[in-house]
Structure 1
């Protein structure tokens, strides 16, 4: 693959360092130059094909890169539309859309790219990171995971149920930043389930299958995978399915056990399991015992409870008394940690992700006498001069080495 940079993009200008410099560097010009990586590969998923393709694409092109885009073949119509329409709005010299299935993706990954951005499952992410390692290619992985949602006993349960139901059943649950499971006490479960039932009925009517606002599973494979999870726990709400329509009703499972299949994988469908614990400390211990999720949710009228969940857990992001609204804040980074991925993007974070920040130092060739102190033979006098020259002197005798 021919390596080239996006010459149509903005010129990279040095960002001069404003920090104090060592005395030995008073004649130097130090700055950070933000350069594009070169050729970037973006592999996007099926669930939000336009958003999860265009957001990183804009950041990569803005940073000066050329981009190969590989949308998911599962959302075929969206893939076809992007391939046909994007050349009408973007310079074809800066990007290309590659369509096709697993074979085409595997062929792409055989090439050496300068950066790879992947959004999808952990299974495919493992394939991507293995391919990138062969060429020492840096990358960002957005992998999702089992996002826990802690609900405290001190709550407006109907408000909590409304927010959880909207976030969980939006796009038929095929959303990596939605709550994957609720964790709470048995008493809270008993209070929350009727409110969830009311929220679902308010959103989608008595028969959600007839609602124009409730989606379907992307294909038969994912339908069968999620339908098999209905055998876990006890069906408290929903549970109806229609294979011909790839329809799974908004479903809530009560009294789910941690060893059941639904707690061993990301649900990625309209099924919400509720796991009961005895107290907040047990909930936090359960969350921390598992892989770090993309997002942790916490609902409580007590701010100290929300803060405790925030302080005592680790995740890519956090939502206190909120649902999916953080995606509206372009000033907040989006990304995982550990098994939920690594790297951040959205807004300026997308630009930074696709930018190589080069630390640059320029020095004139004259005044060679100032350099002599670095050269052998070494003496005590040279050592004292080096110690003086390496110090960064600041006002009020504050010295940073």
Structure 2
């Protein structure tokens, strides 16, 4: 693993050269990143198809398209974000100026997952580049073709002392975390996130953890049932449910449960056909172990739609499970697959109480038009982010921070928040030399009463 130490050392040297501190340099690298994606776009589609059977449409809308928008947004506002921020000062600081500088951390490590292997490797890197850091990307070994392509793309575009991709298994991540890094950005499961944070703490390295959890959907009795079902099916079964903010389960009001289930079935057929196992554009499960884990959940509750599988091709069709309780295994952990459990309720307060007793999820989605009930959920349930009358769409707004809370993550990113995540806010007071206020110095009894008045 000596080559990893050499890589980290070379990135420290590159950062200390001061090249990344200039606005013009950062802007140039962002343009280079955009051009790289454009040049390799066709190969990206091919790699994602091979690793996950993603269609070109899904690859564009959930991976490449997001990155183009994020880069363009960052280029547009970068100069503004980089400007020192002037802040007010109390009367005791008369004559001085107080300023916050956004300072890059240095060498950053991005550990990315397999479910969106291009998006979740490059999106944090956009923020790291914008903030003036060097970057090491460790992609997932489970999407081997895409990881190999990421290595090729980055190596052909950037000096490895500035941006590099390191392939390999968990032992590579473990070794990198033992090096003297300045920031770690991890996306993945809560269990692995705990290990990353533990290892980073030994070096006192700051971290951002983008994790997951069981993201609930609430469908209230006044919801637009047809539209709710359409948006939930889209949000749940995109990428075969292998999305950290996918609806994990649905609480639907008893009064609208029957038409809601009917609408869910309709949109499953509309989006994926009557035989999803034969749909060439339907995303596959990433590997056999994950497939077996998901298949075991099919015995929970009653299958009201779907349920068929193809082990050889690692496909599980969109599946709706009814008669589910919190005692079922499927409700004990994040599903991360195309299985949608349905629970029913009659009292919204009961649902809120239940959610308050669970780990804080990465996302929450509420469907219903009454603002009073919307506000009740928003006020009393803690979650990373979410939507009212939609799913997933909050991710696509670069003006909204994306991140979890508690068990679902630490820190946030996207747009300006990516720049801030990878920047240290350095506070500086610039004092005048034209005069010197005497009250802070000892020995003046006359000024004691004045100080008490000022500082009370």
Greater mean alpha carbon deviation, residues 143-152 or residues 156-165: 156-165
Q: How many residues were matched structurally?
A: 387
Partners of 1:10 and 1:62 within 8 A in 2: no
Whole-angstrom distance in 1 between the partners of 2:126 and 2:370: 40
Q: Deviation per CA, 1:234-281, whole angstroms, max 9, x where unpaired?
A: 111111111111011100000101111111100000000011233211
Q: What TM-score does the superposition give when structure 1 sets the normalisation length?
A: 0.92
Q: Post-superposition shift, 1:378? A: 5.0
SS of equivalent to 1:235: strand
The aligned counterpart of 1:8 is: 19
2:188 to 113, 120, 140: 120
Q: Post-superposition shift, 1:308? A: 2.1
The aligned counterpart of 2:86 is: 17
2:449 to 384, 387, 398: 384
The aligned counterpart of 2:396 is: 328
Confirm or deny that 1:160 pairs with 2:160: no
Whole-angstrom distance in 1 between the partners of 2:398 and 2:308: 38
Q: Deviation per CA, 1:48-84, whole angstroms, max 9, x where unpaired?
A: 1111111110100110111111011111111100100
2:421 to 338, 343, 353: 353
Whole-angstrom distance in 2 between the partners of 1:220 and 1:70: 22
Where do 1:84-95 residues align within 5 Å? Answer: 84-95=152-163
Partners of 1:61 and 1:94 within 8 A in 2: no
Whole-angstrom distance in 1 between the partners of 2:361 and 2:443: 56
Partners of 1:184 and 1:283 within 8 A in 2: no
Whole-angstrom distance in 1 between the partners of 2:99 and 2:184: 27
Where do 1:134-145 residues align within 5 Å? Answer: 134-145=202-213
Q: Post-superposition shift, 1:289? A: 1.1
Partners of 1:208 and 1:214 within 8 A in 2: yes
Q: Post-superposition shift, 1:385? A: 3.6
Which ranges in structure 2 are unaligned for 5 or more consecutive residues? Answer: 1-7, 24-81
Where do 1:61-80 residues align within 5 Å? Answer: 61-80=129-148
Q: Post-superposition shift, 1:47? A: 0.5
Whole-angstrom distance in 1 between the partners of 2:90 and 2:384: 37
Indicate the structure with greater helix content.
Answer: 2
1:179 to 247, 266, 269: 247
Which ranges in structure 1 are unaligned for 5 or more consecutive residues? Answer: 392-400
Confirm or deny that 1:255 pairs with 2:357: no
1:49 to 109, 117, 121: 117
Whole-angstrom distance in 1 between the partners of 2:370 and 2:83: 47
Whole-angstrom distance in 2 between the partners of 1:264 and 1:182: 15
Partners of 2:87 and 2:100 within 8 A in 1: no
Whole-angstrom distance in 1 between the partners of 2:340 and 2:372: 26
Q: What TM-score does the superposition give when structure 2 sets the normalisation length?
A: 0.81
Partners of 1:14 and 1:32 within 8 A in 2: no
Greater mean alpha carbon deviation, residues 83-92 or residues 151-160: 83-92
